[in-house]
Structure 1
Amino acid sequence: MTTATVHDATELFSSLLQPRNRPDPYPLWERLARYPVARTADGTYLVSGYHDITRLLRDPRVSSNRHIEQTPKGRTVARGADGKPAGRRLLTQDPPVHDKLRRQIMRHLMPRITGIRGHIDRLVARLLDAHATDGPGQLDVVEDLAYPLPVTVICELLGVPREDEPVFREFARRLTRGLDPAESLTEQQLDQLLGARLAMRDNMVDLVGKRKASPRDDLVSALLQGGGEDGPMAVPDLISNLAQLLVAGHETTVNLIANGALALLRHPDVLGRLRSDPRTVTLLVEEVLRYDPPVQMVGRSALADIEVGGTVIPRGSRMRLLLAAGDRDPRRFDDPGAFRPERAGNAHITFGGGLHYCVGAVLARTEAQVALTALARRLDGPRLVADPPPYRDNAILRGPDRLLVAFESLRR
Structure 2
Amino acid sequence: MTPDTLLARITDYASRPDPYPLYAELREAGGVVRQTDGSYLVGTYHEINALLHDPRISSDQRNLSEPYRGLAEEEQQPAAFISLDDPEHHRVRSIVTRPFGPPHSPGRIHAMRGEIARITEELIDAFGDRKRIDLVDDFAYPLPVAVICRLLGVPREDEPLFRAWSTTMIEAADVRPGEDHTEVRRAATRAREDMGDYLVGLAEQRRGKPTDDMLSAFINEPDPAHRLTREELANNGAILLLAGHETTVNLITNGMLTLLRHPDQLERLRREPALMPKVVEELLRYEPPVHLVPTRTPLVDVKVAGATVPKGVRLVLVLASGSRDPVRFREPDRFDPTREDNAHLGFGGGVHICYGAALARMEAQIALDALTQRLGSARLVEDPPQYRASATLRGPRHLPVDL
Q: Same fold (TM over 0.5)?
A: yes
Residue 128 (structure 2) pairs with residue 132 (structure 1):
yes
**More displaced 10-residue stretch of structure 1: 175-184 or 189-198:** 189-198
Unaligned runs of 5+ in 1: 1-6, 80-84, 408-412
SS in 2 for 1:139: strand
**C-alpha distance in structure 2 between counterparts of 1:405 and 1:103, whole Å:** 42
Does 2:92 align with 1:97?
no
| CA deviations over 1:8-32 (Å, ceiling 9, x no partner) | 2332210111111101111111111
The amino acid of 2:269's aligned partner reads: L
1:359 and 1:102 map into 2 onto residues whose CA distance is 9
TM-score normalised by the chain length of structure 2: 0.92
Matched, 1:362 2:358: yes
Whether 1:177 aligns to 2:171 is yes
Per-residue deviation, residues 189-216 of structure 1 (Å, max 9, x unmatched) = 4554344234223323422332336432
Deviation of 1:73 after TM superposition, in Å, equals 7.4
Distance 1:121 1:185 in 2: 44
1:24: which partner in 2? 18
CA distance in 2, matches of 1:86, 1:163: 31
SS in 2 for 1:109: coil
Contact 2:300/2:311 (8 A) holds in 1: yes
Which range moved further: 264-273 or 298-307? Answer: 298-307
CA contact (8 A) 1:385 1:404 kept: yes
- Counterpart-to-counterpart distance in 2, 1:73 and 1:309: 26
Alpha-carbon displacement from aligned partner over 1:171-229 (angstroms, at most 9, x marks no partner): 11221111111536666645543442342233234223323364322101112222568
Match of 1:159 in 2: 153
Q: Secondary structure at the match of 2:265?
A: helix
Structure-2 change in CA distance of 1:86 and 1:217 (3 Å): farther
> Match of 1:235?
230
Using the TM superposition, give the Cα deviation of residue 159 of structure 1 relative to its aligned residue in structure 2, in angstroms. Answer: 1.1
Alpha-carbon distance in structure 1 between the residues aligned to 2:200 and 2:63: 21
- Aligned equivalents of 1:164 and 1:122: distance in 2? 20
Do residues 211 (structure 1) and 206 (structure 2) align? Answer: yes
**Residues 72, 182 of structure 2: 8 Å contact kept:** no
**Structure 1 contact 306–314 (Cα < 8 Å) conserved:** yes
Which residue, out of 388, 402, 405, partners 2:398? Answer: 402
CA distance 1:98–1:191, change in 2 (3 Å): closer
Alpha-carbon distance in 2 for matches of 1:206, 1:224: 10
- Deviation track 1:94-125 (CA, whole Å, cap 9, x = no partner) reads 11111111111221101321232121111100
After TM superposition, the structure 1 = structure 2 runs for residues 57-72 of structure 1, keeping only pairs within 5 Å, are 57-67=52-62
Against the structure 1 CA distance between its residues 297 and 53, is the aligned structure 2 distance closer, same or farther, given a 3 Å change threshold?
A: same
- Structure 1 residues 334 and 37: CA distance shift in structure 2, 3 A: same
SS at match of 1:320: strand
Deviations 1:103-151 (A, max 9, x none): 1122110132123212111110000000133xx7112111111100000
Letter in structure 1 aligned against 2:207: K
* Residues 347-389 of structure 1, C-alpha deviations (whole Å, 9 max, x = no match): 0011011101101000011111111111110012111000110
Count the aligned residue pairs. Answer: 393
CA gap of 1:337–1:121, structure 2 versus 1, over 3 A, is same
1:68–1:151 CA distance, 2 compared to 1 (3 A)? farther
Match of 1:54 in 2: 49
Name which of 108, 115, 123 aligns with 2:99: 108
Amino acid of the structure 2 residue aligned with 1:296: H
Counterpart of 1:257 in structure 2 is: 252
Question: 1:94 corresponds to which letter in structure 2?
Answer: D
The residue type equivalent to 2:316 in the other structure is: R
Cα pair distance change 1:23/1:56, threshold 3 Å: same
Instruction: Give, in whole Å, the separation in 2 of the partners of 1:186 and 1:325.
Output: 25
Kept in 1: contact 2:278–2:337 (CA 8 A): yes
Cα pair 1:141 1:405 within 8 Å, conserved: yes
Partner residue of 2:375 out of 379, 388, 395: 379
Which residue identity lines up with residue 308 of structure 2 in the other structure? V
Matched residue type, 2:260: L
**Residues 94, 190 of structure 1: alpha-carbon distance in 2 compared, 3 angstrom cutoff:** closer
Partner Cα distance (1:392, 1:384) in 2: 17
Partner of 1:245: 240
Question: Is 2:270 aligned against 1:286?
Answer: no
Conserved? CA contact 2:62–2:69, under 8 Å: no
* Distance in 2 between residues matched to 1:96 and 1:242, nearest whole Å: 20
Question: Does the aligned pair in 1 maintain the 2:195–2:234 contact within 8 Å?
Answer: no
TM-score after normalising by structure 1? 0.90
For 2:254 and 2:222, locate their aligned partners in 1 and report how far apart those are by CA, in whole Å.
Answer: 39
Gap regions ≥5 residues in structure 2: none
| 1:384-409 superposed Cα distances (whole Å, 9 cap, x missing partner) | 000110001111000000001111xx
